[in-house]
Chains A and B, each alone.
With several copies, the nearest count.
Chain A
Amino acid sequence: MPTITVYDAMAQALAEEMRRDARVLMFGEGVATKRPELVGEFGSARIRNTPLAEGIIAGTAVGAAATGLRPIVDLLFAPFLCYAMDELVNSAGKLRYLSGGQFEFPLVAISMTGAGWAVGSQHNHNVEAWFAHAPGLKVVMPSNAADYKGLLKSAIRDDNPVLFFVDIGLLYQPGEVPGGESLVPLGRAAIARPGHDVTLVSYAKTVAVCLQAAEALAATGIAAEVIDLRTIKPLDEATVLASARRTGRVVVVHEASRTCGVGAEVAALVAEQAFDHLKAPVRRVTGPDVPPPASYPLEQAFVPGVDAVAAAAKALVRKPH
C-alpha cells in the first residue's frame, strides 16, 4: 500500500469523487488557490474561491445541496464555524425535518482543529460535540490517512450534511492508504488494537495516544483494547458497548474539553447500557475546560498524554471490585 499524508489522502478523495459525480463541487476561502490541480482537472466552476464570509459559504452549500448539487465547503479552522452555525444547525440540520422531508442536504463541511500549530483557541477549538448535539447532522473525525480518504469519500456520497473535522496535528502525518475505492462507511468504529482488560475509546489524534498507552500497558501485563470511533454521529454504540461488556473497564480519551463532550456521551452510554458488566468506574481523560492556549508547551499540556491515559487504565484494572 502506498504511504501518503492525510492531506494527500484527502486530495485523492476529493479528486476521485469529483471525477465520479459532476454534481460534486467545492468552494471556500482559498480553496482554488490551494488546490490548483483540482481547478486544472475540474475547472473553475467546480473549484471556487469565495469572499471571506463563512455564513454565506455554508448557506450557499445548504441551498445548493437542497436543489441538486453536492457541495463540499472548506471552512478552514473550527472556531470559524461559529460564523456558520445558523446555516449548519438551523438550516442544514433542521430544514429537512421542518419541511416534512421535502429536501435532502448532501453536503460536507470541512474544518480543521486541534493542537499542533500553537495558534491559540481562536484557531484551535474542538467543537465536534456541538454538532453531535444538534439534530440532523453527521460528524466525522478520523485518525489516520486511510480513514481520512475513505470517510471523506463516504461523506461526499452521503445524502445528509456531514461535518468533517480534520485534526491539524495529523494533517501531514503519513499513513498507508489502500488503492481502489477504499470507502470507509460512516457510523462504524474501528478496533485499532484488540485487548481484553480495559477499553480505551477515542478518536482523532488521541487514538495514537491510546495506542502508545496500550503499548506501555502491555509491558505491565495489561491488554488494552483501543477503539477509534471515526464517526462521532452516528455513534457506533454496538462496537463500544460490546467492548465495554467484554473488558468491564472503559477510559474515554479526547482532546476536546471535558464538560458535555463526546466523552460524556460515551461514558453515559456505557454507564447506562453496559452497567452490569462494569468492573470499575468509567474514566474520562480529556482536555480541560479552558481555551487552548498558543504557547507551545501549554498547548501540548492541553492534550491528554500517554502517561495520563495509561495511569487511568491502570487504576481501573487494579481497582478491586
Chain B
Amino acid sequence: MSPFSSPALPSAAVPSIEHPEDLLEAMLLIRAYELRLSELSAQSGTPGTCTAVGQEAAAVGVLSALRAEDLILTNHRSAGHLLARGADPGRMMAEVMGRRDGYCKGKSGSLHISVRELGVVLTSTIVGGELSLATGVALSQTLLGRPGIVACFFGDGAAGEGIFHESLNLAAVWKLPILYVCENNEWQAFVHRRETMVGERIADRAAPYGIASATVDGNDVEAVRDAARSATAAIRDNGRPFLLELATYRQRGHFEPDDQTYVDAAELAAWKARDPIERMKARLAAKDGFTTGDFAGLQARVAARIDAAAAFAQASPWPDPAELLTDVYA
C-alpha cells in the first residue's frame, strides 16, 4: 500500500563520503566543531554540550555507508551524526547557543537537534527515546513504500533501558528495516559501563530476538564503514533489523565542562593512543602517500568552516520572545 505520498524525506542534498580523505576530513570537521564548542563553553555564556571526541569514526563510518533516502535517529551526543550527514555547523552552533538561526529555532539547544530536510528525525535526549521512535519511523518507510532504511544511534547506556529490548523485539517481529547502531563508548554519563552489566558486548543482546549483529572496532573508520555497508546491504535485502556495535571510547567528559576526575587515567590514555583520527591519518600516510602538507590543508579547510560557523552562530539573534508560545500544536 502507498496511495498517499507523504512529504519526501530527506528533501535536501546529502553529501557522499567516498574517498579515504573524505572520511578523514569528516572526522576532522567533527573534532574541530566539538573542540570549538568546548572552548566556548569553558569561557563564556555558551551552553555546555555532550561531545563525542574519540568517537568520530563511528559517526563517519556509518554515515558514509548510508544512502540519501535513509533516515537517521540520534540522541544527545549527535553532533558527529549530524555533521557527517551534511548539517551546517553554523546552524548547529546557533542551535546550541539557543539562537534564532538554529535548526530548531533555538528551542532545542544541543540536546535534541533534528534536521528533517536531511532525514535526521526526532532526536531525543531521553536515553532510549530514539529506540522507542525508530520502529515507528521504519514502519512508515515500509507501509508508505519509501525505499530508505532507518539508522538508529544509541549508547551502551541506552541498551540498559527496557525500551531497547522492546524496540528490538518489535523490529524483529514486524520485520522492520532498522540498523541499530550502538556506540559502546564505555561510559554512561558518570558510570563506567562495567558497573552496569555482566559481560562486555551489547551485541549479544540481539540474538534472543532473532536479530543478527556484529561488533567492530569503532575507532577504525574503514572497519566501521565496511561493517555498516554489509549490515545495510543485509537490511535492504531481507528487510530485517541488524544490530551493529561499535567499540569506542568517550575521550572527554559527559557534558562540557567535565573534569573527568572519575576516569581511570590509564584506560583513557590507552584509548587516546587508539584515536580514530590519528589512526586514519597514519594509514593514509602509509598507504596513499598522504603528506603532512595534505593534512595541514584539510585542517585549514576545516578550521575555516568552524570559524565561519562560530561567527555565524554568534551573530545570530535570540529568538523573538513570542516564540515561547509557538510550535506547540500543529
Contact = CB atoms under 8 A, between A and B. Distances in A.
A79 B126 contact: yes
Most buried by A among B1, B102, B158: B1
A145 B302 CA distance: 48
A63 B98 contact: no
A59 B160 contact: no
B274 interface: no
B169 A53 contact: yes
Interface stretch (A163-171, A273-281, A295-303): A295-303
Contacts of A295: 98-99, 102, 105-107, 109, 318-319, 323
B125 interface: yes
Contacts of A154: none
B124 A45 contact: no
B326 A62 contact: no
Interface stretch (B30-38, B130-138, B241-249, B307-315): B130-138
Contact of A91 (B45, B71, B109, B133): B133
B133 A63 contact: yes
A178 interface: no
Nearest to B115: A102
Given A51-B169, A100-B105, A298-B323, A59 B163 contact: yes
B47 interface: yes
A56 interface: yes
Nearest to B134: A63
B111 A67 contact: no
Interface in B166-180: 166-167, 169-170, 173-174
B132 A91 contact: yes
A295 B318 CA distance: 8
Contacts of A289: 328
B9 A67 contact: yes
Interface string B114-144: 1010000111111111011111111111011
B42 interface: no
Interface stretch (B55-63, B190-198, B199-207, B232-240): B190-198
A118 B137 CA distance: 29
A297 B1 contact: no
Nearest to A92: B133
A62 B126 CA distance: 14
A261 interface: no
Interface residues of B, number: 78
Contact of A69 (B111, B121, B143, B190): B143
A65 interface: yes
Contact of A294 (B3, B103, B111, B166): B111
A136 B110 CA distance: 21
Contacts of B110: 294
Contacts of A56: 132, 135, 162-163, 166-167, 169-170
Contacts of B71: 67
Contacts of A33: 190-191, 262
A120 B125 contact: yes
B98 A298 contact: yes
A99 B115 CA distance: 8
Interface in A32-87: 33-34, 45-46, 48-56, 58-69, 71, 79-80, 82-83, 86-87
Nearest to A52: B157
A95 interface: yes
A133 interface: no
Given A68-B7, A293-B323, A301-B321, 15 more contacts: A46-B143, A48-B174, A50-B196, A51-B170, A52-B127, A56-B167, A60-B139, A63-B122, A67-B137, A86-B132, A87-B133, A99-B108, A106-B330, A295-B106, A297-B319
Interface of A: 21-23, 25, 29-30, 33-34, 45-46, 48-56, 58-69, 71, 79-80, 82-83, 86-87, 90-91, 95-106, 118-120, 122-123, 135-136, 138, 159-160, 288-291, 293-298, 301-302
24 contacts: A21-B4, A45-B143, A49-B191, A55-B161, A55-B166, A60-B132, A60-B136, A62-B132, A63-B122, A67-B6, A91-B132, A98-B112, A99-B108, A100-B108, A104-B330, A288-B324, A293-B107, A293-B324, A295-B98, A296-B45, A297-B98, A297-B318, A297-B319, A298-B98
